């Protein structure tokens, strides 16, 4: 049986919707066949753009408080900077300790500032630890007050070691000796 062109044309005129659907289906199958390898690439690109979109959306939401957060950070940095000591200002640094001595009624037997050490290894040297060794003499309540003022004072203080002992073996003598190794946070 042979199909003539006139038969095809008459069937096409008689059933145009069926032929159009068959033609669209054939074109769609050919397109799917040739584009099936591009589907994972397109999915990956969609996922990447979706995550970028989500991140940008979060940035927009979080940017509302950005100015206030920046101001808060600037204020916090200024507060930290106000509490830092300068390692090179030996006399000014020791004046802080002499003020503590006068306020608490203790007496220094020894007070030494050691060379500063960088507190951030491998990073910027914005901060250094300024070590001190102290030998303080006084009564128990005086030494306790001294420690409280030292820990709650204006410079940031870290007590590395502390040793409390009686000055003499005489029980009637109420004086105690406190040996301290501390570090104050400072700038070079």
The first and second tokens of residue 124, run together, are 């910027």
pLDDT of residue 106: 93
d(CA 66, CA 86): 32
Mean pLDDT, all residues of the chain: 86
Residues 157-181 have a mean pLDDT of 85
From the list 162, 155, 117, 154, the residue with the least C-alpha distance to 135 is 162
pTM value?
A: 0.61
d(CA 24, CA 11): 17
d(CA 164, CA 180): 9
pLDDT of residue 26: 92
Q: Which of 23-27, 35-39, 82-86, 133-137 has the lowest mean pLDDT?
A: 35-39
Report all structural domains of the chain as residue ranges with CATH numbers, in order of start: 5-64 (no CATH), 85-187 (3.30.70.60)
Residue 74 has pLDDT above 90, yes or no: yes
Greater confidence, 64 or 124? 64
Residues 162-169 have a mean pLDDT of 83
Residues 172-177 have a mean pLDDT of 80
Residue 175 has pLDDT above 90, yes or no: no
Cβ density class 13-23: b for 16+ within 10 Å, e for less: eeeeeeeeeee
d(CA 185, CA 188): 10
pLDDT of residue 63: 81
Residue 123 has pLDDT above 60, yes or no: no
């Amino acid at each position: 049986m042979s199909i003539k062109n006139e038969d095809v044309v008459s069937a096409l005129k008689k059933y145009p919707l069926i032929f159009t659907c068959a033609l669209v289906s054939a074109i769609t199958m050919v397109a799917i066949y040739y584009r099936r390898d591009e589907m994972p690439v397109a999915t990956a690109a969609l996922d990447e753009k979706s995550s970028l979109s989500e991140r940008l959306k979060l940035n927009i939401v979080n940017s509302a408080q950005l100015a206030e957060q920046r101001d808060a950070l600037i204020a916090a940095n200024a507060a930290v900077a106000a509490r830092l000591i300068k390692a090179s200002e030996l006399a000014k640094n020791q004046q802080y300790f002499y003020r503590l001595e006068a306020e608490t009624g203790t007496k220094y037997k020894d007070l030494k500032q050691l060379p500063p050490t960088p507190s951030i290894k491998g990073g910027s040297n914005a901060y250094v630890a300024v070590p001190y060794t102290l030998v303080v003499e006084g009564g128990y309540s005086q030494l306790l007050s001294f420690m409280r003022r030292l820990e709650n004072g204006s410079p940031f203080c870290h007590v590395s070691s502390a040793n409390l002992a009686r000055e003499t073996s005489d029980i009637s003598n109420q004086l105690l000796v406190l040996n301290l190794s501390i570090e104050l946070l400072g700038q070079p």
